[in-house]
A and B are shown apart, each in its own frame.
Chain A
């Protein structure tokens, strides 16, 4: 908890002929994070070379490429399919040999035909576009060309042209462009060209067709429609392939991927002619189990040892170590950055505080239920790991929203009848006698949250510096973090001593020193000055950042402000749909009222749908932003290497 999983650096050395069983065993355990061997300048590895793939690597990759091509053509995604272990390894191998070539040919033929048809459809569409301008003239298309004594001009002009030479002209004005066709004797050609140039003439090529334009267009349209039915048929066939073989294909992909990864693993090892050495990371609690099974698999002809960790140079991979409740929040941590191995892992804290912030912001039973239904419903659609984690985060947030909705007594912006808000009220439009929105109380509450959150951040900062730094810098950095806390609390004490605020301690009654300056102000000022000195001792430039104390704390008022805006939108939607549309009609009911009531319901639904989306954005983005910007900047750097164990989580095949 609050720290990544403990890792050990493992060194494995054995003779080359033991490589295959060692790789298979490591792959099966899915625990060994391989430290890739780089030939140039690896200390202690003089004379070693990068290994070569095991036998069967290229065949497996060729098959894998084929499978992926088929999956691409039939749009099969492993993430969308429920995991089911259908066939055994040998069964799968024989099926790959037997069925894959047939399936590949079938899908390839279909896709090739489809792309050919697609191109022909495009060609025909192009031809139709070329003929369309000539539709205005009832002249066959072959009459436009083949003259020796005449020149034909066809194209678009900006305005009508008057020619002084003898000619045949057809002018058809259009919406944005005017189409013109002129036939003149060859001798007058240059004159006509000049006149046309003045009218901004754009030439249109005469299509190489015979017959009337209309007949040609009909012909091509018919061709296109027959081709589209053919394409639809191909799609149906591909869909059939998908239905029939998707289970087999994803299982094949997984099987072959495992094969390829295993056969190519030696590319990451250091080898000599006779031996190989693999270095990597493994969770400390699994060292014994993996070592034992490696020894067993090789009949004892292997050397496995744990190397000491050098924290200065080693990039230890980081695997989260959280209780299952906090696991989904890891996705939010990875968006920012994975913690370093020596750093505190704040995932657990985020997993508790993020839903709280979300609930405080949205705080509405109605929206909470909608989000809960969404989070649970979408789980059926999204089967990928990351999407699931995000949905679980949303589920937790929506439960917190429902709880805070009860505390605020809100349901889609209405007050819940008979339930008095336990938290300060956020209702804007209230009947006489009831309490209006309690803005000052809510604001002070938000500021309290900010002060506490930031103080926790700084305390974590002290812990992080004490773990990561050494010598004089360590003390200075720790004291500087304490300085930040001192400045913030010093200012707070001074403010409490000058003015009485709701929900905050009142220190104005302390014995005065000079006029309004009482002993509290003095204590606060001393604390602040000591804090500034401590910060300056670590880094003078940091003093410039002191105003961020105020801006960061005030930034937490967004919890109230964003929450208020969603309450306000909900209330406006309710007022427009019910107050303006539905209620007046119910009072004077007529046939026509039905339409207005339906319109009112549409406004109600659309308005609340919009507000739900805004609620997710507002509640989610602002809560996570408070963590990333205001909280993490106090202690968290991140930049840890992700722990990627060699192996895979099998979903469709067996080991």
Chain B
């Protein structure tokens, strides 16, 4: 016979906290990958453009960080999960 699993309130709370942490991790991790994939093409094009014309540097840097919004949203979701 399997041992009966007793869950105390503390254990449930701890497990909920763990789930939240997992969720927060997934939110940041996956959005990070998403932002990375999006920045990949922009970044390489930006480096090419800057190599041809140095004045492009500012604009190129800017284009490169545009997909960063994705991971920012992930970070916001993670913060909300953990602290709200």
Task: Show the binding face of A for B, using Cβ within 8 Å.
Answer: 335-336, 436-437, 439-440, 443, 551, 554-555, 557-558, 560-562, 564-565, 621-622, 624-625, 628-629
Please, which residue of chain A has its CB at the minimum distance from the CB of B74?
A: A561
Cβ of A562 and Cβ of B72 under 8 Å apart? yes
Residues of A within 8 A of B62 (CB): 335-336, 621, 624-625, 628
Question: Could you tell me if B65 and A439 are in contact, using CB atoms closer than 8 angstroms?
Answer: no
Taking CB atoms, residues of chain B closer than 8 Å to A336 are 58-59, 62
CB–CB B84/A439 < 8 A: yes
Pull 9 A–B residue pairs with CB atoms less than 8 Å apart, ordered by A.
A437-B79, A440-B80, A561-B75, A562-B72, A622-B68, A624-B62, A625-B62, A625-B68, A629-B66
Closest to B56 in A: A335
Q: Are B83 and A560 in contact (CB under 8 A)?
A: no
Indicate if the CB atoms of B66 and A564 lie closer than 8 Å.
Answer: no
How many Å lie between the Cα of A336 and that of B58 in the bound state? 8
* Of listed B58, B62, B75, B79, residue having the most chain A CB within 10 A: B79
- CA separation between A554 and B62, bound complex, in Å? 19
| B58 and A561 contact, CB distance less than 8 A | no
The answer to whether B65 touches A621 (Cβ under 8 A) is yes
State the CA gap A336–B62 with chains docked (Å).
9
A437 contacts B65, C-beta separation under 8 Å: no
- CB-based contact A443/B80 at 8 Å: yes
Bound Cα distance A335, B62 (Å): 10
**Do B84 and A554 touch across chains, with their CB atoms under 8 A apart?**
no
> Whole-angstrom distance between the alpha carbons of A443 and B66 in the complex?
21
Q: Is B69 an interface residue (CB 8 A)?
A: yes
Q: Is B26 an interface residue (CB 8 A)?
A: no
Q: How far is the CB of B27 from chain A (nearest CB, A)?
A: 11
Contact, CB under 8 Å: A439 / B80: yes
Cβ-based interface call for B33 (8 A): no
Number of interface residues of B (CB under 8 A): 16
Cβ–Cβ contact B73 & A554, under 8 A: yes
Q: Which of A335, A439, A621, A628 contacts B79 (CB 8 A)?
A: A439
A579 CA to B75 CA, complexed, in Å: 26
Complex Cα–Cα for A443 and B75 (A): 12
B30 interface contact, C-beta 8 A: no
A555 touches B72 (CB 8 A): yes
Q: Which of A437, A558, A565, A621 contacts B69 (CB 8 A)?
A: A558
Q: Which 7 A-B pairs have the closest CB atoms?
A: A335-B58, A439-B83, A561-B75, A558-B72, A557-B76, A561-B76, A561-B72
Q: Nearest Cβ distance between residue A482 and chain B, in whole angstroms?
A: 27
Could you tell me the distance between the alpha carbons of A320 and B68 in the complex, rounded to whole angstroms? Answer: 31
Tell me the minimal C-beta distance from B15 to chain A in angstroms. Answer: 21
Residues of A with C-beta under 8 A to B83? 436-437, 439
B37 an interface residue at 8 Å Cβ cutoff?
no
B75 pairs with A335, CB closer than 8 A: no
User: Would you call B61 an interface residue if the criterion is a C-beta within 8 Å of the partner chain's C-beta atoms?
Assistant: yes
Q: Report the separation of the CA atoms of residues A335 and B55 in the bound assembly, to the nearest whole angstrom.
A: 8
Q: How far is the CA of A451 from the CA of B26 in the complex (A)?
A: 29
If A557-B72, A561-B72, A562-B72 touch, whether A625 touches B80 (CB-CB below 8 Å) is: no
Interchain CB contact under 8 A, A440 and B84: yes
Tell me the bound Cα distance from A616 to B84 in angstroms.
28
- B-chain residues with CB within 8 Å of residue A628 when the two chains form the complex: 62
In the complex, chain B residues 29-75 whose Cβ is within 8 Å of any chain A Cβ: 58-59, 61-62, 65-66, 68-69, 72-73, 75
CA A439 – CA B84 in complex, angstroms?
7
CB distance from B54 to the nearest CB of A (A): 12
Other A-B contacts than A557-B76, A560-B76, A625-B65, 10 sampled, CB-CB below 8 A, are A336-B59, A336-B62, A439-B79, A440-B80, A443-B80, A554-B76, A558-B69, A558-B72, A558-B76, A564-B75
Report the separation of the CA atoms of residues A507 and B22 in the bound assembly, to the nearest whole angstrom. 36
Q: Which of A555, A557, A624 has the largest number of chain B CB atoms within 10 A?
A: A557
CA distance A628 to B59 in the complex (A): 10
In the assembled complex, the CB of B43 is this many whole angstroms from the nearest CB of chain A, namely 14
CA distance A439 to B65 in the complex (A): 24
Contacts of A629 in B (CB 8 A): 66
Closest to B73 in A: A554
Complexed CA–CA distance, A621 and B76 (Å): 18
Task: Tell me if A625 and B66 are in contact (CB < 8 A).
Answer: yes
With A439-B80, A443-B80 known as contacts, the answer to whether A565 contacts B66 (CB < 8 A) is no
In the bound complex, CA of A625 to CA of B67 (Å)? 11
A364 to B62, CA, bound (A): 25
Q: Using Cβ atoms and an 8 Å threshold, which residues of chain B touch A437?
A: 79, 83
Task: Give complex CA distance A628, B75 in Å.
Answer: 22
Q: Which residues of B contact A560 (CB under 8 A)?
A: 76, 79
Tell me the complex Cα distance, A440–B84, Å. Answer: 7
CB neighbours (8 Å) of A439 from chain B are 79-80, 83-84
Could you tell me the distance between the alpha carbons of A440 and B76 in the complex, rounded to whole angstroms? 10
Cα-based distance from A625 to B62 in the complex (angstroms): 7
Name the A residues within 8 Å of B69 (CB-CB).
551, 555, 558
Name B80's closest neighbour in chain A (CB-CB).
A439
- The interface residues of chain B lying within 8 Å CB-to-CB of A436 are 83
User: In whole Å, how far is A360's beta carbon from the nearest beta carbon of chain B?
Assistant: 14
